[in-house]
Structure 1
């Protein structure tokens, strides 16, 4: 569709560019010849800018698809696919599991908490729970062996699990800091090292990374969280490059998702601070829908589920960047971890 739209805009621009001078005559529109000429020049510039925008979109899509024009969706049979979701018992992960199940995909949830009561009986038939501390390489291996024994090799991996602190740099304890990095980023090495080899052997798979808009914007009170999410951007980009250039397997899809504030336990302690900035808060269903649509479309790329300006904030002048960060400085004003807050 993008390519078709680009070609249509290009054709319109070339027709107008190569059109006869009579296009600017009073016969075209009920204006004077001078006004008609001005209008035609305006339309030419408008089409030129539109064409640049469409060409950029086509190139972006082409690059995200590993410089391949087509995605081979025929290799995906959703009723025979197995997805692993970390942190899938609640929140975004649980909603993602429910949406994948609606397409017939079998889901294996890796979590330290059991499945929430939100799962219906018919959904539970396609969802399997494996208690697993994803920060432990051995625990991930044991869970993976059980999944392969029960269902076969997964073709979809969603690294979704995450925890959040609400502490300043001086306040956060070494234990909380270590747990944050272990769960939010080190675990991605554990799961990818476990499940990627089978995907490479079959030349098919999709690895999805749940990040956050905080990857683009570090702010007071959540420096550790933002650091892990910024690290996930590097992880996603590096994984994508290695699949193309080290393992010669561009068929494996990679997606990174940047949700804005989402109504989960992670924001319970800081919701008032978020509301003070008038920032929107997404529902988990909207985030999960976008993620599942990407998986079902068999596409790679980035999903920015929030203000698009956040992704380009570092291209702004420094004074503007600092104004944005200053605006966010009082979102996190409690001392908390995940959804457990304590007053100062």
Structure 2
């Protein structure tokens, strides 16, 4: 794909939902650059199999984030689309949560999108166009046990979305895409969905009576970065089969 094709950047874009988002953007004609943290082998496979550009960066380290942004701008140009998808979980009861547990999750899930968007935004504004999609979580809206750090980071991401939508308007649109239960290997393992009784209990809570697929989330991303959402900014789009209806 030539340098004249628009550029999209996806953090955490070589695995799970992030890989589906990267693949969809590639299919829409974007030169798609996926940032990854540590799994170089998976990144190389994604680059080879799906035609992605891959760049290493630790979203929890502001210096690493800003260095990666400088590299992208110098070597690949100004992103037309930025998807802040990368995130980590470190789940423990509140009274057992360490300062490192708190800081690691907040630094990656909330500060990472702040630093990366701030690094790219001036160039996007100068270019006269841009779309930012922050990938949130339902726990940013509804609390759960043993996840105060994760829930706080995703609630903060939603407010970051709204503030950026105000400050970067009218040139750059900023929205929050919030997946519900989505069939990835991580989700299956975390919620033991390979056990029929556990899966049935989850399905009973979802009016659509199915767990979402990564393509369901990619469909929503396609809407948020495309012309049909040209009048949509500062919003949350929850893709969860009706499980929460917020």
TM over 0.5: yes
State the 1:251 CA deviation.
2.7
Q: Following the alignment from structure 1 to structure 2, what is the Cα–Cα distance between the partners of residues 222 and 276? A: 21
Q: Following the alignment from structure 2 to structure 1, what is the Cα–Cα distance between the partners of residues 83 and 25? A: 11
Match for residue 303 of structure 1 among 233, 237, 241:
237
Give CA-to-partner distance per residue, 1:158-211, whole Å, 9 cap, x none.
000011133211222322221111111111111011000111112210010000
Matched, 1:260 2:180: yes
Unaligned runs of 5+ in 2: none
Q: Following the alignment from structure 2 to structure 1, what is the Cα–Cα distance between the partners of residues 93 and 50? A: 41
Question: How well do the aligned residues superpose, as a CA RMSD in angstroms?
Answer: 2.3
Matched, 1:109 2:34: yes
* Equivalence for 1:287: 217
Paired residue secondary structure (2:94): coil
Distance 1:117 1:131, change over 3 A: closer
Q: Following the alignment from structure 1 to structure 2, what is the Cα–Cα distance between the partners of residues 256 and 188? A: 12
Task: Give aligned pairs, total.
Answer: 228
Matched, 1:203 2:128: yes
Question: 1:140-151 residue pairs with structure 2 within 5 A?
Answer: 140-151=65-76
Q: Is this contact kept in 2: 1:136–1:190, CA < 8 A?
A: no
Taking structure 1 as the reference length, the TM-score comes to 0.61
Taking structure 2 as the reference length, the TM-score comes to 0.83
Q: Is this contact kept in 2: 1:109–1:130, CA < 8 A?
A: yes
Match for residue 23 of structure 2 among 98, 117, 120:
98
Match for residue 105 of structure 2 among 168, 175, 180:
180
Unaligned runs of 5+ in 1: 1-77, 245-249, 313-344
Q: Is this contact kept in 1: 2:7–2:81, CA < 8 A?
A: yes
Match for residue 157 of structure 2 among 221, 232, 235:
232
Q: Is this contact kept in 2: 1:216–1:310, CA < 8 A?
A: no
Structure with max Cα Rg: 1
Matched, 1:271 2:192: yes
State the 1:150 CA deviation.
2.1
Question: 1:29-178 residue pairs with structure 2 within 5 A?
Answer: 80-112=5-37, 113-114=39-40, 115-116=42-43, 119=46, 121=48, 123-124=50-51, 127-178=52-103
